[in-house]
Amino acid sequence: MTGKISFAEQVNLNFDKAVRFTDHDPRLLDQIRVCNFVCRFAFPVQKDDGSIEVVEAWRAEHSNHKLPTKGGIRFALDVNEDEVVALASLMSYKCAVVNVPFGGAKGGVRIDRRQYSKRELERITRRFTYELSRKNFIGPGIDVPAPDFGTGMKEMSWMADTYQSLHNNDLNALAAVTGKPVELGGIRGRDEATGLGVFYGVREACNNAEDMKPLGLDTGIEGKTVVVQGFGNVGFHAARFFSEAGAKVIAIAEYDGAITNPQGLDIAEVDEHRKQTKSIVDAPDSKNLPSKEAAIEMDCDILVPAALENVITDDNVDRIKARIVAEAANGPITASANQHLFDRSVLVIPDVYLNAGGVTVSYFEWLKDLSHVRFGRLEKRFEEFAYRRLLKGVENVTERRFSEDMLRVLSEGAEERDLVRSGLDETMATAYQEIRNKKCQIGGKADLRTACFIVAIDKIVLCYGDMGIFP
């Protein structure tokens, strides 16, 4: 809970704001808004010292208008039912915005992962998967977990392995979990996907001269100043892609401190320092800031909150100086702080679109697992031969010769990672145009978040219509 209204209520406020711009049947809207299923789990876990601890966990399936439902599993101390429900509903709208054919779900285990050994985390993850399976809350066509805050490939490999051992006659068992290591049916590019999606989404916005003008900004990413809050999987990759595209990441904030360099931080160096010391503080070529708030409140072009919800609230919104706030995390701006930013004409690129890169590439991974073939395996060589024939044709017409090196570079067929990146780029670019068009169609009263919710609701309504319910 935050302030007076809970996270789930905040999501529903955004939903209710959007439905005012639609004329859908209110009974159907009630069905879309409500969370269909929530399961609370409590199970014992044996610690390394032999003691037993009771762990609490949740899985919420918000909407089954498409199956499977999909969403991450987070490990954090403040996980609670309201949060899981809110995040599951965001997943439903997120999937609809980027045309990923899943319903929304989310799970959480209430633990501080730093307090557990690797073996203990494995026992917790495997036991949770077992409980999910017992309650039919996991399966390639039912509900497919993925990484989220506090979880990653390791946890997903334990989940997939546990599910597979419980369902060893299911040929598609590996499709029950995404975000797995490549050796276990994962896909190249999933790890970086959310951060890369954030980059693609912001790049789309920044390429639009009409949208940049009122912010007093030029088009393009190059030269823009960026502050990233949260240097986990999402924040790190987003920072890396911004920096590679020529933006200056002038500050990074983490839970234990913040660093700055007005000329732009070296992201690889900060990451290396963090790997060695477990903290970004004192990273080379940087100055420590007095607090993480000092980073968030810095004057910059793009602020990227990339950790947890409720980072920009009524308490600090007046001190936010960024021209663009790019919601890489889920729910980092409270509903009322969002209104303040809107009134001040700050461009907020909302979570429900911007961090959909993770679930988009999860969708590609799920497809790969169901088809049992790596993307690019069938066509890579064919493409290379076709490009070579074309280049030979150019040589014949121009009577000039390409060097063997040039031929190799120009005729290279796509690897799995290239295809994943291009599919993600296409998804983020197309969805941005769709939500921007909706926003323009509505005019001054709507921001991009409201446009996202309208686009999502329209698509889910259509889906219920196709099922013959509320025709």
Task: Catalog residues that contact ligand GLU under the rule CB under 6 A.
Answer: 70-72, 146, 148, 178, 330, 355, 358-359, 362
Residue 253 CB, nearest approach to ligand GLU (Å): 20
The smaller minimum CB distance to ligand GLU, of residues 131 and 148, is found at: 148
Q: Is 278 a catalytic residue?
A: no
Q: CB–CB of 68/76 below 8 Å?
A: no
- Residue 73 CB, shortest distance to ligand GLU, in Å, is 8
Taking the alpha carbons at both ends of the chain, their separation in whole angstroms is: 37
Task: Name residue 5's beta-bridge partners.
Answer: 2
Number of Cβ within 10 Å of residue 467's Cβ equals: 11
Give me the least distance between CB of 239 and ligand GLU, in Å please: 18
- Token digits of residue 287: 């100055």
Distances (CA, A) of 186 to 174, 377, 416: 9, 15, 11
Give how far Cα 457 sits from Cα of 358, 392, 445, Å.
21, 51, 18
Nearer to ligand GLU, 184 or 391 (CB): 184
CA distance 201 to 351: 10
> Rounded to an integer, what distance in angstroms lies between the CA atom of residue 270 and that of residue 284?
7
Q: CB-wise, 18 or 328, nearer to ligand GLU?
A: 328
User: Minimum distance between the CB of residue 193 and ligand GLU, rounded to whole angstroms?
Assistant: 8
Indicate the SS3 state at residue 298.
coil
- Cβ proximity to ligand GLU, 129 vs 178, nearer residue: 178
Q: What are the distances in angstroms from CA 26 to CA 11, 12, 51, 156?
A: 17, 14, 52, 39
Q: Which is nearer to ligand GLU, 97 or 317 (CB)?
A: 97
Classify the C-alpha dihedral 277-281-282-286 as positive or negative. positive
DSSP letter (8 states) at residue 312: B
Minimum CB separation of residue 359 from ligand GLU in Å reads 4
| Residue 428, strand partner residues | none
Q: How far is the CB of 152 from ligand GLU (least distance, A)?
A: 11
Query: What's the CA gap between 110 and 75, in Å, rounded?
Result: 6
Give the active site residue among 66, 106, 224, 292.
Answer: 106
Name residue 345's amino acid.
Answer: S
Question: 79 or 346: whose CB is closer to ligand GLU?
Answer: 79
Scan for tokens 């660093």, then name that residue.
259
Assign 380 to helix, strand or coil: helix
d(CA 252, CA 266): 11
Closer CB to ligand GLU, residue 133 or residue 178? Answer: 178
235 is written with which tokens? 């924040």
80 dihedral zone (left: phi>0; alpha: psi -120 to 50; beta): beta
Least distance from C-beta 292 to ligand GLU, angstroms? Answer: 22
The secondary structure of 145-177 as a DSSP string is EEE-TT--HHHHHHHHHHHHHHTTT-TTGGGG-
| Cα gap 39→223, rounded to integer Å | 47
Residue nearest to ligand GLU (CB): 72
Closer residue to ligand GLU, CB minimum distance, 78 or 412: 78
Cα separation, 115 vs 125, whole angstroms: 15
Burial readout 388-405 (b: 16 or more C-beta within 10 A, e: otherwise): eeeeeeeeeeeeeebeee
Tell me the closest approach of the beta carbon of residue 134 to ligand GLU, in angstroms. 21
Beta strands in 324-410 (DSSP E): 324-326, 347-349
**Toward ligand GLU, which CB reaches closer, 104 or 257?**
104
Q: In the complex, what is the shortest distance from the CB of residue 181 to ligand GLU, in angstroms, rounded to a whole number?
A: 15
Q: Show which residues are catalytic.
A: 106
